[in-house]
Amino acid sequence: MSFITLKDVVYSYEDIETEPNAPRAVDGVSMSVEKGEFVAVIGHNGCGKSTIAKHLNAMLLPDSGKVYVDFDDTSDEDKTFDIRKKVGLVLQNPDNQLVASIVEEDVAFGPENLGVEPEEIRKRVDSALKAVGMYEYREHAPFKLSGGQKQRVAIAGILAIRPECIVLDEPTAMLDPNGRSEVMSTLLKLNRERDMTVVLITHYMDEAVLADRVIVMDGGKILTEGTPGEVFSQVELLKKHRLDVPQSAELMYRLKGAGVEVGSIPLNAADCINALEEVLR
Amino acid sequence: MVRDVAFGQYFPAKSLIHRLDPRAKLVMFAAYIVIIFCTFNFVSLAVTTAFTVLFVALSGVPFKFYFKSLKVIILIVLITSLLNLFYGSGEPIWQWWIFKITQNGINRAIFVTLRIVCLILASSCLTFSTSPTEMTDAIERLMKPLKVLHFPVHEIAMMMSLALRFIPTLLEETDKIMQAQKARGSDFESGGITKRVRALIPILVPLFVSAFRRAYEIATAMECRCYNGGDGRTRMKSIHLSARDFISFAVLGLVITGVILCNIFLEPAI
Protein backbone atom coordinates (compact mmCIF):
# COMPACT_ATOMS: atom_id res chain seq x y z
CA MET A 1 0.00 0.00 0.00
CA SER A 2 1.14 3.56 -0.70
CA PHE A 3 1.95 6.10 1.99
CA ILE A 4 -1.48 7.73 1.56
CA THR A 5 -4.30 5.74 -0.03
CA LEU A 6 -7.85 6.91 -0.72
CA LYS A 7 -10.42 4.25 -1.60
CA ASP A 8 -13.75 5.31 -3.16
CA VAL A 9 -14.04 8.32 -0.90
CA VAL A 10 -17.47 10.00 -0.88
CA TYR A 11 -18.09 13.12 1.15
CA SER A 12 -20.95 15.58 1.35
CA TYR A 13 -21.16 18.71 3.47
CA GLU A 14 -24.80 17.79 4.05
CA ASP A 15 -26.12 14.67 5.74
CA ILE A 16 -26.21 11.95 3.08
CA GLU A 17 -28.26 9.55 5.19
CA THR A 18 -31.28 11.83 5.53
CA GLU A 19 -30.86 13.42 2.09
CA PRO A 20 -29.56 10.82 -0.32
CA ASN A 21 -29.59 13.33 -3.18
CA ALA A 22 -27.49 15.96 -1.42
CA PRO A 23 -24.67 17.30 -3.59
CA ARG A 24 -21.42 15.45 -3.02
CA ALA A 25 -18.23 17.46 -2.68
CA VAL A 26 -16.21 14.33 -3.36
CA ASP A 27 -17.86 11.49 -5.24
CA GLY A 28 -15.92 8.25 -5.37
CA VAL A 29 -12.28 9.31 -5.44
CA SER A 30 -9.50 6.74 -5.29
CA MET A 31 -5.92 7.92 -5.38
CA SER A 32 -2.59 7.32 -3.74
CA VAL A 33 0.49 9.28 -2.81
CA GLU A 34 3.90 7.64 -2.57
CA LYS A 35 6.68 8.75 -0.21
CA GLY A 36 8.90 11.49 -1.62
CA GLU A 37 6.44 12.35 -4.38
CA PHE A 38 5.34 15.85 -5.43
CA VAL A 39 1.69 15.56 -6.41
CA ALA A 40 -0.41 18.45 -7.69
CA VAL A 41 -4.20 18.33 -7.54
CA ILE A 42 -5.87 20.81 -9.88
CA GLY A 43 -9.42 21.73 -10.73
CA HIS A 44 -12.04 24.48 -10.59
CA ASN A 45 -13.40 26.05 -7.45
CA GLY A 46 -15.86 23.58 -5.96
CA CYS A 47 -14.42 20.54 -7.73
CA GLY A 48 -13.67 18.91 -4.37
CA LYS A 49 -9.93 19.42 -4.25
CA SER A 50 -9.93 21.26 -0.89
CA THR A 51 -12.23 18.61 0.54
CA ILE A 52 -9.69 15.99 -0.53
CA ALA A 53 -6.94 17.96 1.21
CA LYS A 54 -8.85 17.95 4.49
CA HIS A 55 -9.32 14.17 4.23
CA LEU A 56 -5.58 13.57 4.11
CA ASN A 57 -4.97 14.56 7.75
CA ALA A 58 -8.28 13.45 9.27
CA MET A 59 -9.76 16.95 9.45
CA LEU A 60 -12.70 15.46 7.54
CA LEU A 61 -13.73 11.81 7.55
CA PRO A 62 -15.26 10.17 4.46
CA ASP A 63 -19.01 9.41 4.45
CA SER A 64 -18.15 6.20 2.68
CA GLY A 65 -14.86 4.74 1.51
CA LYS A 66 -11.56 4.77 3.40
CA VAL A 67 -8.47 6.93 3.76
CA TYR A 68 -5.28 5.26 4.96
CA VAL A 69 -2.20 7.19 6.05
CA ASP A 70 0.82 4.98 6.58
CA PHE A 71 -1.51 1.96 7.13
CA ASP A 72 -3.64 3.84 9.69
CA ASP A 73 -7.32 4.36 8.97
CA THR A 74 -8.18 8.06 9.43
CA SER A 75 -11.58 7.19 10.92
CA ASP A 76 -9.83 5.57 13.90
CA GLU A 77 -10.02 8.34 16.52
CA ASP A 78 -7.07 7.02 18.51
CA LYS A 79 -4.84 7.56 15.50
CA THR A 80 -5.94 11.14 14.69
CA PHE A 81 -2.94 12.80 16.30
CA ASP A 82 -0.49 10.25 14.88
CA ILE A 83 -1.89 11.03 11.44
CA ARG A 84 -1.67 14.80 11.95
CA LYS A 85 1.94 14.34 13.07
CA LYS A 86 2.70 12.57 9.81
CA VAL A 87 0.65 14.73 7.45
CA GLY A 88 0.74 18.49 7.97
CA LEU A 89 -1.87 20.71 6.34
CA VAL A 90 -1.15 24.31 5.27
CA LEU A 91 -4.24 26.40 4.53
CA GLN A 92 -4.98 29.15 2.05
CA ASN A 93 -5.02 32.27 4.20
CA PRO A 94 -1.64 32.75 5.89
CA ASP A 95 -3.09 35.32 8.32
CA ASN A 96 -5.43 32.81 9.89
CA GLN A 97 -2.78 30.17 10.49
CA LEU A 98 -0.33 32.16 12.56
CA VAL A 99 -1.39 32.03 16.19
CA ALA A 100 1.44 33.77 18.07
CA SER A 101 2.64 37.38 17.96
CA ILE A 102 6.25 36.47 17.20
CA VAL A 103 7.41 34.34 14.27
CA GLU A 104 9.52 31.85 16.24
CA GLU A 105 6.86 31.42 18.92
CA ASP A 106 4.35 30.64 16.21
CA VAL A 107 6.61 28.01 14.66
CA ALA A 108 7.02 26.50 18.13
CA PHE A 109 3.24 26.11 18.53
CA GLY A 110 3.06 22.66 16.90
CA PRO A 111 5.91 20.98 18.79
CA GLU A 112 4.67 22.62 22.02
CA ASN A 113 1.31 20.92 21.50
CA LEU A 114 3.09 17.61 21.08
CA GLY A 115 4.90 18.06 24.38
CA VAL A 116 8.40 18.12 22.90
CA GLU A 117 11.28 19.08 25.23
CA PRO A 118 12.18 22.84 25.16
CA GLU A 119 15.73 22.38 23.77
CA GLU A 120 14.44 20.08 21.05
CA ILE A 121 11.71 22.63 20.17
CA ARG A 122 14.40 25.32 19.82
CA LYS A 123 16.34 23.07 17.41
CA ARG A 124 13.26 22.23 15.36
CA VAL A 125 12.14 25.86 15.17
CA ASP A 126 15.55 27.02 13.99
CA SER A 127 15.89 24.30 11.39
CA ALA A 128 12.31 24.78 10.11
CA LEU A 129 12.83 28.54 9.78
CA LYS A 130 16.13 27.98 7.96
CA ALA A 131 14.47 25.49 5.61
CA VAL A 132 11.96 28.12 4.44
CA GLY A 133 14.52 30.95 4.49
CA MET A 134 12.83 32.93 7.27
CA TYR A 135 15.45 32.52 10.01
CA GLU A 136 16.41 36.21 9.97
CA TYR A 137 12.80 37.14 10.67
CA ARG A 138 12.44 34.90 13.72
CA GLU A 139 11.80 37.79 16.13
CA HIS A 140 9.47 39.76 13.87
CA ALA A 141 5.73 40.18 14.33
CA PRO A 142 3.78 38.15 11.73
CA PHE A 143 1.51 41.04 10.73
CA LYS A 144 4.49 43.04 9.51
CA LEU A 145 5.54 40.36 6.99
CA SER A 146 4.47 40.11 3.36
CA GLY A 147 1.97 37.46 2.25
CA GLY A 148 4.64 35.15 0.83
CA GLN A 149 6.72 35.46 4.00
CA LYS A 150 3.69 34.71 6.19
CA GLN A 151 2.89 31.63 4.13
CA ARG A 152 6.51 30.45 4.47
CA VAL A 153 6.25 30.91 8.25
CA ALA A 154 3.06 28.83 8.14
CA ILE A 155 4.97 26.13 6.25
CA ALA A 156 7.76 26.30 8.85
CA GLY A 157 5.12 25.87 11.56
CA ILE A 158 4.10 22.60 9.95
CA LEU A 159 7.72 21.51 9.31
CA ALA A 160 8.50 21.93 13.01
CA ILE A 161 6.08 19.10 13.73
CA ARG A 162 8.43 16.98 11.55
CA PRO A 163 5.75 15.50 9.28
CA GLU A 164 6.52 13.02 6.53
CA CYS A 165 4.17 14.72 4.13
CA ILE A 166 2.85 18.24 3.78
CA VAL A 167 -0.44 19.01 2.11
CA LEU A 168 -1.03 22.58 0.93
CA ASP A 169 -4.54 23.78 0.18
CA GLU A 170 -4.12 26.57 -2.41
CA PRO A 171 -1.23 28.15 -0.49
CA THR A 172 -0.60 30.74 -3.20
CA ALA A 173 -4.19 31.79 -3.94
CA MET A 174 -3.98 34.94 -1.82
CA LEU A 175 -0.42 35.90 -2.75
CA ASP A 176 1.06 38.23 -5.38
CA PRO A 177 3.36 36.77 -8.09
CA ASN A 178 6.45 37.36 -5.91
CA GLY A 179 4.93 35.56 -2.96
CA ARG A 180 3.81 32.73 -5.21
CA SER A 181 7.28 32.09 -6.57
CA GLU A 182 8.75 32.30 -3.03
CA VAL A 183 6.37 29.62 -1.81
CA MET A 184 6.81 27.43 -4.88
CA SER A 185 10.60 27.46 -4.75
CA THR A 186 10.44 26.65 -1.03
CA LEU A 187 8.21 23.65 -1.75
CA LEU A 188 10.42 22.40 -4.57
CA LYS A 189 13.48 22.73 -2.37
CA LEU A 190 11.82 20.77 0.44
CA ASN A 191 10.81 18.05 -1.98
CA ARG A 192 14.14 17.78 -3.78
CA GLU A 193 16.57 18.30 -0.90
CA ARG A 194 14.72 16.88 2.08
CA ASP A 195 12.70 14.26 0.27
CA MET A 196 9.51 15.70 1.72
CA THR A 197 6.29 14.31 0.26
CA VAL A 198 4.27 17.26 -1.05
CA VAL A 199 0.61 17.34 -2.07
CA LEU A 200 -0.17 20.72 -3.62
CA ILE A 201 -3.78 21.70 -4.21
CA THR A 202 -3.83 24.57 -6.69
CA HIS A 203 -5.64 26.13 -9.59
CA TYR A 204 -2.53 27.57 -11.22
CA MET A 205 -1.46 25.36 -14.10
CA ASP A 206 2.10 26.69 -14.14
CA GLU A 207 2.49 25.42 -10.54
CA ALA A 208 1.07 22.02 -11.41
CA VAL A 209 3.61 21.68 -14.24
CA LEU A 210 6.42 21.55 -11.65
CA ALA A 211 4.99 18.46 -9.91
CA ASP A 212 5.97 14.82 -10.49
CA ARG A 213 2.35 13.84 -10.95
CA VAL A 214 -0.83 15.80 -11.65
CA ILE A 215 -4.34 14.77 -10.64
CA VAL A 216 -7.14 16.67 -12.37
CA MET A 217 -10.49 16.85 -10.58
CA ASP A 218 -13.87 17.95 -11.81
CA GLY A 219 -17.27 17.66 -10.15
CA GLY A 220 -15.94 15.65 -7.20
CA LYS A 221 -14.36 13.01 -9.44
CA ILE A 222 -10.90 12.43 -10.84
CA LEU A 223 -10.88 13.44 -14.48
CA THR A 224 -7.40 12.28 -15.40
CA GLU A 225 -4.00 11.83 -13.82
CA GLY A 226 -0.41 11.30 -14.87
CA THR A 227 2.85 13.19 -15.34
CA PRO A 228 2.45 16.87 -16.28
CA GLY A 229 3.44 15.94 -19.84
CA GLU A 230 0.75 13.29 -20.07
CA VAL A 231 -1.96 15.43 -18.51
CA PHE A 232 -1.36 18.65 -20.40
CA SER A 233 -1.10 16.95 -23.76
CA GLN A 234 -4.80 16.09 -23.35
CA VAL A 235 -5.65 19.65 -24.26
CA GLU A 236 -9.05 18.79 -25.67
CA LEU A 237 -10.21 16.96 -22.56
CA LEU A 238 -9.09 19.83 -20.32
CA LYS A 239 -10.72 22.41 -22.58
CA LYS A 240 -13.97 20.48 -22.57
CA HIS A 241 -14.02 20.86 -18.78
CA ARG A 242 -13.11 24.55 -19.06
CA LEU A 243 -9.70 24.04 -17.48
CA ASP A 244 -6.67 26.05 -18.53
CA VAL A 245 -3.52 24.55 -19.94
CA PRO A 246 -0.06 26.14 -19.65
CA GLN A 247 0.42 28.82 -22.31
CA SER A 248 3.15 26.88 -24.12
CA ALA A 249 0.92 23.80 -24.38
CA GLU A 250 -1.91 25.99 -25.61
CA LEU A 251 0.32 27.49 -28.32
CA MET A 252 1.45 24.09 -29.54
CA TYR A 253 -2.12 22.82 -29.51
CA ARG A 254 -3.21 25.67 -31.76
CA LEU A 255 -0.24 25.15 -34.08
CA LYS A 256 -1.21 21.50 -34.30
CA GLY A 257 -4.75 22.53 -35.14
CA ALA A 258 -3.42 24.79 -37.90
CA GLY A 259 -1.70 21.81 -39.45
CA VAL A 260 1.84 22.32 -38.15
CA GLU A 261 3.73 19.14 -37.27
CA VAL A 262 4.82 19.30 -33.62
CA GLY A 263 6.47 16.70 -31.42
CA SER A 264 5.89 16.46 -27.66
CA ILE A 265 3.91 19.20 -25.89
CA PRO A 266 6.29 21.65 -24.11
CA LEU A 267 5.36 22.65 -20.55
CA ASN A 268 7.53 25.71 -19.97
CA ALA A 269 8.86 28.66 -21.94
CA ALA A 270 12.34 27.21 -22.56
CA ASP A 271 11.01 23.91 -23.94
CA CYS A 272 8.53 25.86 -26.00
CA ILE A 273 11.30 27.91 -27.62
CA ASN A 274 13.18 24.70 -28.48
CA ALA A 275 10.06 23.14 -29.95
CA LEU A 276 9.37 26.27 -32.01
CA GLU A 277 12.93 26.25 -33.31
CA GLU A 278 12.41 22.64 -34.38
CA VAL A 279 9.24 23.60 -36.20
CA LEU A 280 10.85 26.57 -37.98
CA ARG A 281 13.94 24.63 -39.09
CA MET B 1 -4.82 55.92 13.33
CA VAL B 2 -5.29 53.56 16.26
CA ARG B 3 -2.10 51.80 15.26
CA ASP B 4 0.05 54.77 16.24
CA VAL B 5 -0.73 54.37 19.92
CA ALA B 6 2.47 53.28 21.61
CA PHE B 7 0.82 52.23 24.87
CA GLY B 8 0.61 48.46 25.19
CA GLN B 9 3.12 47.63 22.49
CA TYR B 10 6.12 45.37 22.76
CA PHE B 11 9.55 46.81 21.98
CA PRO B 12 12.05 44.00 21.32
CA ALA B 13 15.42 44.55 23.00
CA LYS B 14 17.86 42.68 25.22
CA SER B 15 17.95 44.89 28.31
CA LEU B 16 18.05 43.77 31.93
CA ILE B 17 14.33 44.56 32.29
CA HIS B 18 13.51 42.51 29.18
CA ARG B 19 15.30 39.53 30.65
CA LEU B 20 13.46 39.64 33.97
CA ASP B 21 10.99 36.85 34.56
CA PRO B 22 7.59 38.10 33.31
CA ARG B 23 5.94 36.70 36.44
CA ALA B 24 8.30 38.75 38.59
CA LYS B 25 7.49 41.82 36.52
CA LEU B 26 3.74 41.31 36.89
CA VAL B 27 3.93 40.77 40.66
CA MET B 28 6.21 43.77 41.05
CA PHE B 29 3.87 45.90 38.96
CA ALA B 30 0.92 44.94 41.14
CA ALA B 31 2.87 45.81 44.29
CA TYR B 32 4.02 49.03 42.66
CA ILE B 33 0.45 50.20 41.94
CA VAL B 34 -0.39 49.79 45.61
CA ILE B 35 2.73 51.54 46.81
CA ILE B 36 2.41 54.52 44.45
CA PHE B 37 -0.98 55.33 45.98
CA CYS B 38 0.40 54.96 49.49
CA THR B 39 2.88 57.80 49.13
CA PHE B 40 1.73 60.61 51.38
CA ASN B 41 4.78 62.82 51.70
CA PHE B 42 7.43 64.23 49.41
CA VAL B 43 10.25 61.92 50.49
CA SER B 44 8.29 58.73 49.73
CA LEU B 45 7.04 60.23 46.47
CA ALA B 46 10.64 61.01 45.50
CA VAL B 47 11.72 57.46 46.36
CA THR B 48 9.02 55.82 44.20
CA THR B 49 9.63 58.28 41.35
CA ALA B 50 13.36 57.48 41.47
CA PHE B 51 12.51 53.79 41.38
CA THR B 52 10.31 54.33 38.29
CA VAL B 53 13.02 56.35 36.56
CA LEU B 54 15.55 53.62 37.34
CA PHE B 55 13.40 50.94 35.67
CA VAL B 56 12.58 53.15 32.69
CA ALA B 57 16.27 53.92 32.20
CA LEU B 58 17.26 50.25 32.49
CA SER B 59 14.58 49.11 30.02
CA GLY B 60 16.67 50.17 27.00
CA VAL B 61 13.58 51.53 25.26
CA PRO B 62 14.10 55.00 23.70
CA PHE B 63 12.38 57.69 25.75
CA LYS B 64 10.36 58.89 22.80
CA PHE B 65 8.24 55.74 23.08
CA TYR B 66 7.47 56.55 26.71
CA PHE B 67 6.73 60.11 25.65
CA LYS B 68 4.25 58.81 23.07
CA SER B 69 2.33 56.87 25.68
CA LEU B 70 2.39 59.90 28.02
CA LYS B 71 0.97 62.09 25.28
CA VAL B 72 -2.23 60.05 25.26
CA ILE B 73 -3.05 60.82 28.89
CA ILE B 74 -1.80 64.43 29.06
CA LEU B 75 -5.37 65.80 29.03
CA ILE B 76 -6.44 63.53 31.90
CA VAL B 77 -3.43 64.63 33.93
CA LEU B 78 -4.18 68.30 33.30
CA ILE B 79 -7.86 68.03 34.27
CA THR B 80 -7.28 65.98 37.40
CA SER B 81 -4.45 68.18 38.61
CA LEU B 82 -6.50 71.34 37.99
CA LEU B 83 -9.44 69.90 39.92
CA ASN B 84 -7.16 68.89 42.76
CA LEU B 85 -5.56 72.33 42.75
CA PHE B 86 -8.88 74.00 43.57
CA TYR B 87 -10.17 71.41 45.99
CA GLY B 88 -7.46 71.69 48.65
CA SER B 89 -8.36 72.37 52.26
CA GLY B 90 -6.82 74.87 54.63
CA GLU B 91 -5.88 78.56 54.39
CA PRO B 92 -6.24 80.00 50.85
CA ILE B 93 -3.09 81.47 49.35
CA TRP B 94 -4.99 83.02 46.46
CA GLN B 95 -8.70 83.50 46.06
CA TRP B 96 -11.07 84.77 43.36
CA TRP B 97 -14.84 84.37 43.51
CA ILE B 98 -15.44 80.69 44.38
CA PHE B 99 -11.94 79.58 43.31
CA LYS B 100 -9.24 79.34 45.93
CA ILE B 101 -5.80 77.80 45.91
CA THR B 102 -4.27 76.43 49.10
CA GLN B 103 -0.90 74.89 49.89
CA ASN B 104 -2.72 71.60 50.33
CA GLY B 105 -4.27 71.98 46.86
CA ILE B 106 -0.87 72.60 45.25
CA ASN B 107 0.54 69.52 46.98
CA ARG B 108 -2.40 67.44 45.87
CA ALA B 109 -1.95 68.56 42.26
CA ILE B 110 1.75 67.65 42.35
CA PHE B 111 1.03 64.25 43.88
CA VAL B 112 -1.71 63.31 41.48
CA THR B 113 0.33 64.39 38.43
CA LEU B 114 3.42 62.47 39.49
CA ARG B 115 1.41 59.40 40.49
CA ILE B 116 -0.35 59.18 37.12
CA VAL B 117 2.83 59.85 35.15
CA CYS B 118 4.72 57.20 37.17
CA LEU B 119 1.88 54.74 36.71
CA ILE B 120 1.86 55.22 32.94
CA LEU B 121 5.66 55.01 32.76
CA ALA B 122 5.70 51.81 34.81
CA SER B 123 2.93 50.12 32.85
CA SER B 124 4.56 51.16 29.56
CA CYS B 125 7.84 49.77 30.86
CA LEU B 126 6.05 46.49 31.61
CA THR B 127 4.42 46.18 28.18
CA PHE B 128 7.44 47.48 26.24
CA SER B 129 9.70 44.91 27.85
CA THR B 130 7.36 41.88 27.90
CA SER B 131 6.16 40.19 24.73
CA PRO B 132 2.45 39.29 24.66
CA THR B 133 3.33 35.60 24.74
CA GLU B 134 5.52 36.07 27.81
CA MET B 135 2.75 38.06 29.43
CA THR B 136 0.06 35.44 28.86
CA ASP B 137 2.50 32.73 29.84
CA ALA B 138 3.14 34.57 33.10
CA ILE B 139 -0.58 35.04 33.75
CA GLU B 140 -1.17 31.36 33.06
CA ARG B 141 1.55 30.33 35.50
CA LEU B 142 0.47 32.80 38.18
CA MET B 143 -3.15 31.67 37.98
CA LYS B 144 -2.26 27.98 37.99
CA PRO B 145 -3.41 27.45 41.60
CA LEU B 146 -6.94 28.40 40.44
CA LYS B 147 -7.01 25.22 38.36
CA VAL B 148 -7.95 23.34 41.51
CA LEU B 149 -11.23 25.28 41.42
CA HIS B 150 -11.76 24.15 37.77
CA PHE B 151 -11.01 27.65 36.54
CA PRO B 152 -10.03 27.35 32.81
CA VAL B 153 -6.59 28.94 33.22
CA HIS B 154 -5.02 27.63 30.02
CA GLU B 155 -8.05 28.49 27.90
CA ILE B 156 -8.12 32.05 29.15
CA ALA B 157 -4.40 32.50 28.53
CA MET B 158 -4.78 31.07 25.01
CA MET B 159 -7.70 33.39 24.29
CA MET B 160 -5.69 36.37 25.49
CA SER B 161 -2.71 35.55 23.33
CA LEU B 162 -4.91 34.95 20.27
CA ALA B 163 -6.71 38.25 20.89
CA LEU B 164 -3.39 40.08 21.13
CA ARG B 165 -2.17 38.40 17.94
CA PHE B 166 -5.26 39.42 15.98
CA ILE B 167 -5.62 43.03 17.13
CA PRO B 168 -3.43 44.41 14.30
CA THR B 169 -5.03 42.05 11.75
CA LEU B 170 -8.54 43.16 12.68
CA LEU B 171 -7.51 46.83 12.69
CA GLU B 172 -6.18 46.38 9.18
CA GLU B 173 -9.45 44.76 8.19
CA THR B 174 -11.47 47.62 9.72
CA ASP B 175 -9.44 50.04 7.65
CA LYS B 176 -10.11 48.04 4.49
CA ILE B 177 -13.86 47.82 5.15
CA MET B 178 -13.99 51.56 5.89
CA GLN B 179 -12.27 52.30 2.62
CA ALA B 180 -14.63 49.98 0.76
CA GLN B 181 -17.65 51.71 2.29
CA LYS B 182 -16.18 55.13 1.56
CA ALA B 183 -15.68 54.08 -2.05
CA ARG B 184 -19.41 53.41 -2.19
CA GLY B 185 -20.12 56.86 -0.88
CA SER B 186 -20.69 56.38 2.84
CA ASP B 187 -19.80 59.34 4.98
CA PHE B 188 -18.22 58.91 8.42
CA GLU B 189 -17.12 62.47 9.05
CA SER B 190 -20.17 64.72 8.93
CA GLY B 191 -23.53 64.88 10.68
CA GLY B 192 -24.59 64.61 14.28
CA ILE B 193 -23.63 61.91 16.72
CA THR B 194 -26.56 59.59 15.87
CA LYS B 195 -25.81 59.84 12.17
CA ARG B 196 -22.15 59.02 12.74
CA VAL B 197 -22.92 56.09 15.00
CA ARG B 198 -25.36 54.81 12.42
CA ALA B 199 -22.67 55.12 9.74
CA LEU B 200 -20.59 52.63 11.75
CA ILE B 201 -23.12 49.81 11.35
CA PRO B 202 -22.04 48.96 7.77
CA ILE B 203 -18.50 48.61 9.15
CA LEU B 204 -19.30 46.55 12.20
CA VAL B 205 -21.51 44.00 10.46
CA PRO B 206 -18.93 42.81 7.88
CA LEU B 207 -16.22 43.02 10.54
CA PHE B 208 -18.14 40.67 12.83
CA VAL B 209 -18.98 38.27 10.03
CA SER B 210 -15.36 38.06 8.93
CA ALA B 211 -14.14 37.76 12.53
CA PHE B 212 -16.32 34.68 13.01
CA ARG B 213 -15.18 33.16 9.74
CA ARG B 214 -11.60 33.87 10.74
CA ALA B 215 -12.10 32.26 14.14
CA TYR B 216 -13.39 29.13 12.45
CA GLU B 217 -10.35 28.97 10.19
CA ILE B 218 -7.94 29.60 13.04
CA ALA B 219 -9.51 26.73 14.95
CA THR B 220 -8.97 24.47 11.92
CA ALA B 221 -5.36 25.59 11.58
CA MET B 222 -4.75 24.99 15.30
CA GLU B 223 -6.23 21.50 15.05
CA CYS B 224 -3.99 20.80 12.06
CA ARG B 225 -1.07 21.60 14.32
CA CYS B 226 -2.15 19.03 16.88
CA TYR B 227 -3.60 21.50 19.38
CA ASN B 228 -5.47 19.58 22.03
CA GLY B 229 -5.90 21.94 24.97
CA GLY B 230 -3.37 22.67 27.67
CA ASP B 231 -2.68 19.15 28.91
CA GLY B 232 0.74 17.78 28.05
CA ARG B 233 1.85 21.01 26.41
CA THR B 234 5.44 22.17 26.76
CA ARG B 235 6.87 25.64 26.10
CA MET B 236 9.88 26.54 23.98
CA LYS B 237 10.84 29.43 26.22
CA SER B 238 10.41 28.11 29.72
CA ILE B 239 10.52 30.92 32.25
CA HIS B 240 12.29 30.66 35.58
CA LEU B 241 13.34 33.02 38.32
CA SER B 242 17.03 33.93 38.42
CA ALA B 243 19.33 36.16 40.46
CA ARG B 244 18.31 39.35 38.66
CA ASP B 245 14.68 38.75 39.61
CA PHE B 246 15.59 38.46 43.28
CA ILE B 247 17.72 41.60 43.06
CA SER B 248 14.80 43.55 41.61
CA PHE B 249 12.53 42.12 44.30
CA ALA B 250 15.03 43.36 46.86
CA VAL B 251 15.08 46.85 45.32
CA LEU B 252 11.29 47.00 45.33
CA GLY B 253 11.32 45.69 48.91
CA LEU B 254 13.60 48.58 49.92
CA VAL B 255 11.27 51.07 48.21
CA ILE B 256 8.25 49.62 50.01
CA THR B 257 10.03 49.73 53.39
CA GLY B 258 11.14 53.28 52.65
CA VAL B 259 7.60 54.39 51.84
CA ILE B 260 6.21 52.72 54.96
CA LEU B 261 8.89 54.29 57.18
CA CYS B 262 8.27 57.73 55.65
CA ASN B 263 4.55 57.35 56.27
CA ILE B 264 5.18 56.49 59.92
CA PHE B 265 7.82 59.06 60.78
CA LEU B 266 7.13 62.05 58.52
CA GLU B 267 4.21 64.46 58.40
CA PRO B 268 1.83 63.72 55.52
CA ALA B 269 1.83 66.48 52.90
CA ILE B 270 -1.71 65.82 51.72
The interface predicted TM-score of the complex, written ipTM, equals: 0.85
- Could you give the C-alpha distances from A243 to A24, A103, A268, B262, in angstroms and in order? 21, 38, 17, 82
- Residues A158 and A209 both lie in one domain: yes
* Chain A residue with minimum CA distance to B160: A100
Tell me, what's the pLDDT at B1?
A: 41
**Is A165 in the same domain as A279?**
no
Q: Give the number of residues written for chain A.
A: 281
Instruction: State pLDDT tens for residues B47-101.
Output: 999 999 999 999 988 888 888 888 888 899 999 998 888 887 777 787 778 778 8
Does the structure show a pLDDT above 70 at A241? Answer: yes
Query: Which residue in the set A89, A117, A161 is minimally distant from B234, CB to CB?
Result: A117
A90 and A21 share a domain? yes
Residue A33 sits in the same domain as residue A167: yes
pLDDT averaged over chain A?
90
State the nearest Cα–Cα gap between B156 and chain A, in angstroms.
Answer: 15
- By C-alpha distance, the chain B residue nearest A85 is B226
pLDDT for A8: 93
B12 touches A at CB < 8 Å: yes
**Rounded CA gap, B249 and B232, in Å?**
32
Mean pLDDT of chain B: 86
Same domain, A96 and A112: yes
* Residue A11, pLDDT score: 93
| In a shared domain, residues A140 and A275 | no
Confidence grade of residue B9 (pLDDT, cut at 50, 70, 90): confident
Using alpha carbons, list the distances in angstroms from residue A170 to A45, A201, B94. Answer: 11, 5, 75
Average pLDDT over residues A111-135: 93
Considering the domain architecture, whether residues A17 and A70 belong to the same structural domain is answered as: yes
B133: nearest CB among A84, A100, A157: A100
Cβ separation B169–A111 shorter than 8 A: no
pLDDT-based confidence at residue A85 (cuts at 50, 70, 90)? very high
Residue B257 pLDDT greater than 80, yes or no = yes
With CB atoms and an 8 Å threshold, state whether B10 touches A115. Answer: no
Domain holding A14, by residue range, is 4-243
Look at residue A236 and tell me whether its pLDDT is greater than 80: yes
pLDDT band at A86 (very low <50, low <70, confident <90, very high): very high
A105 to B223: CB separation less than 8 angstroms, yes or no: no
B161 contact A CB<8A:
yes
| Residue A98 Cα, gap to closest chain B Cα (Å) | 8
Percent of chain B with pLDDT over 90: 30
Predicted confidence band at B232 (pLDDT cuts at 50, 70, 90)? confident
What pLDDT was estimated at residue B8? Answer: 58
Inter-residue long-range contacts of A32-36, CB under 8 Å, 24+ positions, other chains counted: A32/A1, A32/A2, A32/A3, A32/A4, A32/A5, A32/A6, A33/A2, A33/A3, A33/A4, A33/A165, A33/A197, A33/A199, A34/A2, A34/A3, A34/A197, A35/A3, A35/A164, A35/A165, A35/A195, A35/A197, A36/A191, A36/A195, A36/A196, A36/A197
What pTM value is reported for the model? 0.80
Query: pLDDT for A161-171, tens place per residue?
Result: 999 999 999 99
What pLDDT does residue B6 have? Answer: 46
Average confidence (pLDDT) over A257-266: 79
Pairwise CB contact (< 8 Å): A59 & B222:
no
pLDDT-derived band at A110, boundaries 50, 70, 90: very high
Same domain, A31 and A11: yes
- Nearest chain A residue to B237 by CA distance is A118
A207 and A252 both lie in a single domain? no
**% pLDDT > 90, chain A:** 58
Question: CB B225 to CB A109 under 8 A?
Answer: yes
Number of structural domains chain A divides into: 2
- For the segment B214-237, the average pLDDT, to the nearest whole number, is 88
| pLDDT single digits (tens) B110-148 | 999 999 999 999 999 998 898 877 888 888 889 888 888
pLDDT band at B2 (very low <50, low <70, confident <90, very high): very low
